[in-house]
Chains A and B, each alone.
Chain A
């Protein structure tokens, strides 16, 4: 039960295991000092927590280390916990047939992170989607605007405090 109560986020700062440290990806990330906050392998999937200010630097290192594909960018809202948002990057190396997941934690007030569009162009729509659905701002994104919801929409639907049923009539100007 001890493990279950921690739920989604690990409360205590864990030591990064030797198994994780030995991985080539992790060594590549460690070239950027202070970027790697946590790392673990669960169910065969490698997850690295990255300091949110250093995401672009880490992205560049990993892209150079054969991770040419950014498979997806998404976000998890941990409301009411703080830091509230977890931006998730799914990377894939075709050469080594390897996947790694990067996570950056962001605070609930004015969540913002640098865009990785300069590293992978495929971040374009994924970052716009996260902005649309969670309200996370991607600094340096050339065209950050809503992508799935109408442009005049208020609120960010995938936030946990956004109701599943419409809470107000949304076509106010009609």
Chain B
């Protein structure tokens, strides 16, 4: 690290260099932070990322359009369906596909479940970082219910790949209504349980109130998005400002706080859990019937039965499976509100059956850039609370 202070420099300044990570339980993945300390105060914090770099963007360029979907799961492995959705929306925009209402509402319902899943993992691990061990057990207990729903829908608990270009991979499984109603019936009281454990807990308040403060302008300037921005007082949510997948038909609030500290970020995310429940309930109550895939024979695989009995369908099936489908030349930047903030897919097509370039503007990458400003000049003991409040996933940072 060329920017890390050498021992002699540090000695002159009477500071100590502390290496946090790459494997540290509180860094939520493989993140290395070089901390230069003056006593208990952090003088300089230099994040070192790239340990989870897997070259997904390069890999996308040799897969067909549909084959990229499973790769997007692996970008942010706690918000896999959000990534599926953003990519599919981008490609559908290039193709000019119209997605039937049932698929759109299913997508909304499942991405909100993803938000709950992601926030629960965040809350559990964040609380454990700060020392509240039991919250993690509650969060992971309830997250399991969400994962069971994902498993019923897609066959996978985490790497779902359930959304496809043109709609969904399959229609909703038998008995999905019961799973969702059970979840909607029990989950709101579980949120109360977490709040009982934390919101008025004096230790929690002492560790989080006034910690990791950053001004809104600073946050916007260094590229933060999502709950970090909302905890600083700006009600900016892409679901409201640039609605996609039918979000304009749902009623929900955008929770904001003004303190912009670790506690404000916590309470924004907990409020978002409740809003997500509201959205899921609306999507469930009003779930339209009909097709779950677009009427686009050249893009969407034909039904199995038709493929076996009709020549046309067989030809389409063969073409899609062997060479994929072409996407008109052009480019699109599609953004959605992922659990962590603005997720953007910049997709460039040259007209062939493979993407020419896929760039993922991931929320964690932007949020992690706030680290030096959030840690420097503050106490080492607060760094863990501040780091946790950024809510980054290292797979999402490194891609």
Contacts and interface: CB of A to CB of B under 8 A. Distances in A.
A149 B234 contact: no
Interface string B45-73: 00001100101011101100000000000
B200 to A, nearest CB: 34
A143 B47 CA distance: 13
Contact of B361 (A7, A42, A90, A158): A90
Contacts of A47: 331
Nearest to B356: A8
B333 interface: yes
A150 B357 CA distance: 23
B369 A71 contact: no
A143 B365 contact: no
A124 B331 CA distance: 24
Contacts of A125: 223, 365, 369
Interface residues of B, number: 44
Interface stretch (B150-158, B169-177, B340-348): B340-348
Interface string B315-334: 00000000000001111110
A148 interface: yes
A161 to B, nearest CB: 12
A30 interface: no
Contacts of B61: 164
Contacts of A94: 220, 234, 236
Contact of B3 (A71, A143, A148, A164): A143
A7 B53 CA distance: 30
B234 A90 contact: no
B2 A145 contact: yes
B94 interface: yes
Interface in A48-97: 68-72, 74, 76-77, 88, 90, 94, 97
A4 B351 contact: yes
Contacts of B342: 71
A125 B2 CA distance: 16
Nearest to A165: B62
Nearest to A122: B223
Given A76-B348, A122-B221, A45 B333 contact: yes
Contact of A74 (B2, B220, B234, B359): B359
A72 B331 CA distance: 15
A45 B332 contact: yes
Given A90-B344, A143-B3, A43 B359 contact: no
Contacts of A121: 221-223, 369
A141 interface: no
Contacts of A71: 223, 335, 342, 344, 361
Query: Which of B93, B217, B344 has most A Cβ within 10 Å?
Result: B344
Contacts of B331: 42, 45, 47
Interface in A109-151: 120-122, 124-126, 133, 143, 145-150
Given A7-B350, A148-B53, A157-B55, A69 B332 contact: no
A159 to B, nearest CB: 10
B346 to A, nearest CB: 6
A97 B241 contact: yes
Contacts of B58: 157-158, 162, 164
B242 interface: yes
Given A43-B330, A149-B53, A68 B365 contact: no
Nearest to B365: A125
B60 to A, nearest CB: 10
Contacts of B350: 7-8
Interface string B1-28: 0110000000000000000000000000
B361 A148 contact: no
Given A43-B332, A74-B361, A88-B359, 15 more contacts: A45-B332, A69-B223, A70-B223, A71-B223, A71-B361, A72-B346, A72-B361, A90-B361, A122-B221, A125-B223, A125-B365, A125-B369, A145-B2, A146-B50, A162-B58
Return the 9 tightest CB-CB contacts between A and B, nearest first.
A122-B223, A72-B361, A148-B50, A74-B359, A148-B53, A121-B221, A121-B222, A76-B357, A7-B350
